[in-house]
């Protein structure tokens, strides 16, 4: 799985560099992308297809086109495996409450950061093409967080690794937040599809929190991990059930 995610990181790096080249040398192609209707084809339309397909595939746990880590798949019932000795429901409640508080901090911080870019856009300091480039940077940064280093994990969430991440499936929502401010079918379709992914995750977390805690799901424990995507970004702590 590590090689798969490293490959995905390289692929996203290529996508970002492509958009950066378009931004610098052929910004007219971005303007074509932002037209209400497809008058002429732009490479940005192909990139839109890639981005949309990535979100749709993540909704299916067993897809073979783009395998996903347990960090995302833990929301599904088929990946839940309770410990034979049972688990402490009070500890599960404390764990869930603590992670909900931290996730709210992340959400507020993310909204605050993007509010700055929204203000700059409304004041016409930056334009739509800068917001698209920013979104593509977030697209790349999402896998940098998985493979190399994640500021949310290190500073706020303090989860052991991505497998145990409370906000793992927030990635698409965070990538496409800047696109909310651009009134266009292609930008809004990406953002609002990401909202669907986010809502599905949050509803599952609310109704089935035991799937997200290693104390109640042994598939999330280090000794049972089959993926080993932590070759570069080492686990913060190695614990069992906490």
What is the tens place of the pLDDT at every residue in 164-178? 999 999 999 999 999
Tokens representing 34?
């932002």
What pTM does this model have?
0.92
Tokens representing 25?
């040398």
Neighbours of 236 (CB within 10 A): 16
Domain locations along the chain: 2-224
Q: Cα–chain-centroid distance for residue 206? A: 19
Query: What is the C-alpha separation between 67 and 227, in angstroms, rounded?
Result: 11
Query: What is the C-alpha separation between 1 and 5, in angstroms, rounded?
Result: 6
Q: pLDDT by residue (tens digit) across 104-155? A: 999 999 999 999 999 999 999 999 999 999 999 999 999 999 999 999 999 9
State the first-to-last Cα distance of the chain, in angstroms, to the nearest integer: 25
Band (pLDDT 50/70/90 cuts) for residue 227 is: confident
Give the residue among 178, 221, 163, 171 at the shortest CA–CA distance from 194: 171
Contact between 163 and 74 under an 8 Å Cβ cutoff? The reply is yes
Q: Phi and psi of 136, rounded to 5°?
A: -70, -30
- Mean pLDDT of the chain, nearest integer: 91
């Amino acid at each position: 799985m590590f090689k798969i995610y490293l490959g995905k990181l390289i692929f996203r790096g290529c996508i970002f560099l492509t958009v950066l080249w378009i931004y610098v040398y052929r910004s007219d192609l971005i303007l074509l992308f932002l037209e209400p209707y497809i008058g002429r084809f732009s490479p940005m339309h192909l990139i839109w297809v890639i981005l949309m397909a990535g979100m749709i595939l993540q909704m299916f746990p067993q897809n073979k086109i783009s395998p996903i880590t347990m960090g995302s798949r833990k929301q599904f019932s088929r990946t839940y495996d309770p410990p034979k000795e049972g688990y402490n429901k009070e500890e599960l409640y404390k764990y869930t409450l603590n992670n909900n508080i931290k996730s709210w901090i992340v959400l507020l911080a993310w909204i605050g950061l993007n509010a700055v870019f929204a203000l700059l856009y409304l004041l016409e300091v930056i334009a739509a093409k800068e917001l698209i480039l920013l979104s593509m940077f977030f697209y790349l940064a999402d896998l940098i967080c998985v493979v190399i280093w994640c500021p949310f994990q290190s500073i706020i969430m303090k989860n052991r690794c991505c497998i145990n991440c409370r906000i793992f499936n927030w990635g698409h929502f965070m990538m496409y937040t800047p696109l909310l401010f651009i009134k266009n079918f292609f930008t809004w379709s990406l953002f609002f599809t990401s909202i669907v992914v986010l809502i599905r995750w949050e509803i599952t977390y609310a109704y089935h929190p035991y799937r997200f805690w290693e104390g109640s799901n042994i598939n999330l424990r280090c000794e049972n991990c089959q993926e080993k995507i932590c070759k570069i970004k080492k686990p913060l702590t190695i614990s069992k059930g906490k």
